[in-house]
Every structure is written in C-alpha cells, then in structure tokens.
Amino acid sequence: MRYGFIGLGNMGGAILKGMIACGGYTADQISGFDSDGEKAGKLAEETGIVLEGSCRDTVEKCDVVLFAVKPQQLPAVLKDLSVLPGLKDKLFLSIAAGFPIEKIRFLLSELDAPVIRAMPNLNAAVGEAITALCQDSPVSKEQMEIAEKVFSSVGEVVYLPEKQLGAFSAVAGASPAFTFMYADALAMAGVRAGIPRALSMRIALQAIKGSCVNASASGEHPDLLRDRVCSPGGTTIEGVNVLEQNGFKGMVMEAVQAVIEKDDRLSGV
C-alpha cells in the first residue's frame, strides 16, 4: 500500500516522519508533493520519501492520500483532482481545519469517495499528539483502522463525530499555544525573582510536564490534585487565590470558545 501526502509542511512532515520512525512504514511506501519544491526536496533528502511532480501524480500512484495543505488551498487542489478516475477506490485523509467531509466529496465530484477527517495537534512533531478522527459512510472499518494506524504513529487517537471537531480543535489544537504562553509566564516570573532565564524556563517546562504525567497517571480530578499542593494557610493557596480572583479558568474557557466560534465560521456553520 502506498501513502501520498499533498502538502509537505510542518504537520505533513511531522506525520510522515512519525510513520517512518514508528517502524510500521518504509520511506519508499510514501510519496509526496508540495508547491514549495525547495522545502519538499529537503524533506525528501532527509527522509527518503518519493517526490511526485504534481497533486495528480500523487493521487494516481497512491492508495491512501493525506491532504496536509492549508484550508484556503484545499478547494483548488480538490477541483484539480476531480477529473481523475477511480477516486472512490482511494482513501482520503484530511487535516484541513473547518473543511467538512461533505464539502471535500463535493469538490472531488465523487460523493462515494471514502474521506476521513483528522485533527492532530502541534505535538505530532515530538510524537505526543492527540488526534481526533471522524468519518461517515462509505468508509469501512478497515479504512478507519488504516487511518488510526497512521495517526497513532505520532501520538494518541480518539474518535469524535464531525460536529465536535471544532471543540476538539480548540481544546487540543489551540491549547499548545495557550500552554506555551503559560510556560513563558512562569519562566518570566522566575526571572523576576532572580532565576536566570534559561534555567527558569527549564524549571517551568518540567513542572508542567510532570503535572501532566501526574494528572494522567492518577486519573483523579485536577481540583483534587490542586488541593494536595495547597496546604492550609500555606504559600500556594495565595497564588491560587490570585488566579481565581482574575478569572483564570473563565479566561481559558473563553479562549477555547473563541477558537470554536472561528472554526464554525470557517466551516460555514
């Protein structure tokens, strides 16, 4: 089976690198095309994948095709591919935000084409992504397993209905940006207190990482874990009180909602 990537940017590159690194795929099984020939050439040299001359070449030669271009570029790509025969015999994976399955099929001019939407996040670059998959008929169980294997190579996979992808995109896709902002705020607070910048960032990142592992391993509600850190009359509760007074949780929820609303506008909801 051959896998084709249309778009070899940061996310496309991260996914194909993960596929090769996991040992379940070989570089010669993977083809790709990107309009940026220089970038594509560098990735091919680094990974050993096969470069194709166009989007059509990629689709014609591959059984599974992953669209990894920007949402605003996808309509032109799909219309270009719509003239090809046999599209219903391919499996199409799309990571384009705000681009529904129905619209992809319509622009492909093939309403029976198997299409699965996937929403990985930035952490695919380090094999720690969380990816949501959604599909409708005529995708088979075997095709869903193919998609799950691809995206499991860069992290965990969950299944959601398409109407919840906007929420997933906000909670999982946008949250790394929020987390990086939080990490920088922690590090800057350390600098303010006299810790060198590089060391302060190292401390902040490890504290965040350890907290995430702790919460995941314990299975307990985060509020219970928070309470364990907050000794009665202690120092931590003073900081928690400041965050509560300034609406920390509410601001995070509003930020997530803003992302959902933008995704809805992109989707035409």
Mean pLDDT throughout 135-141?
87
Q: Given a cut of 70, is residue 136 above it in pLDDT?
A: yes
- Cα(18)–Cα(208) distance, rounded to whole angstroms? 24
Helix axes 175-192 and 197-218, enclosed angle (nearest 10): 130
200, 190 contact by CB (below 8 A): yes
- Would you state the pLDDT for residue 269? 59
- Cα(248)–Cα(262) distance, rounded to whole angstroms? 22
**Per-domain residue ranges for the chain?**
3-160, 168-267
| Mean pLDDT score across all residues of the chain | 95
- Cα(71)–Cα(113) distance, rounded to whole angstroms? 19
CB neighbourhood size of 129 (10 A): 26
Measured in whole angstroms, how far is the alpha carbon of residue 237 from the centre of its chain?
35
Give the CATH number of domain 168-267. Answer: 1.10.3730.10
Q: Is 85 exposed, middle or buried (0-12, 13-18, 19+ CB in 10 A)?
A: exposed
Amino acid at 3: Y
- Would you state the pLDDT for residue 88? 94
Amino acid at 235: T
> For 183, how many CA atoms within 13 A lie in the half-sphere containing its CB?
19
Mean pLDDT throughout 191-209?
98
Question: Over the stretch 212-249, which tens digit does the pLDDT of each residue have?
Answer: 999 999 999 999 999 999 999 999 999 999 999 999 99
- Cα(263)–Cα(55) distance, rounded to whole angstroms? 26
- Cα(80)–Cα(66) distance, rounded to whole angstroms? 15
Place of tokens 């070449």: 57
- Would you state the pLDDT for residue 121? 95
Residue 51 forms beta bridges with which residues? 32
Would you identify the CATH topology of the domain 3-160? Rossmann fold (3.40.50)
- Of the candidates 102, 178, 186, 90, the one whose C-alpha atom is nearest the C-alpha of residue 136 is 102
Amino acid at 164: Q
Q: Given a cut of 80, is residue 137 above it in pLDDT?
A: no
Question: Over the stretch 142-189, which tens digit does the pLDDT of each residue have?
Answer: 999 999 999 999 999 999 999 998 899 899 999 999 999 999 999 999
- What would the DSSP string read from start to end of 57-84? HHHHH-SEEEE-S-TTTHHHHHHHHTTS
Question: Over the stretch 79-132, which tens digit does the pLDDT of each residue have?
Answer: 999 999 999 999 999 999 888 999 999 999 998 999 999 999 999 999 999 999
Measured in whole angstroms, how far is the alpha carbon of residue 260 from the centre of its chain?
15
Mean pLDDT throughout 250-266?
90
- Would you state the pLDDT for residue 265? 83
In sequence order, which residues have a C-beta less than 8 Å from that of residue 153 and are 6 or more positions away?
15, 18, 19, 21, 22, 24, 25, 127
- Would you state the pLDDT for residue 9? 94
- Cα(40)–Cα(68) distance, rounded to whole angstroms? 13
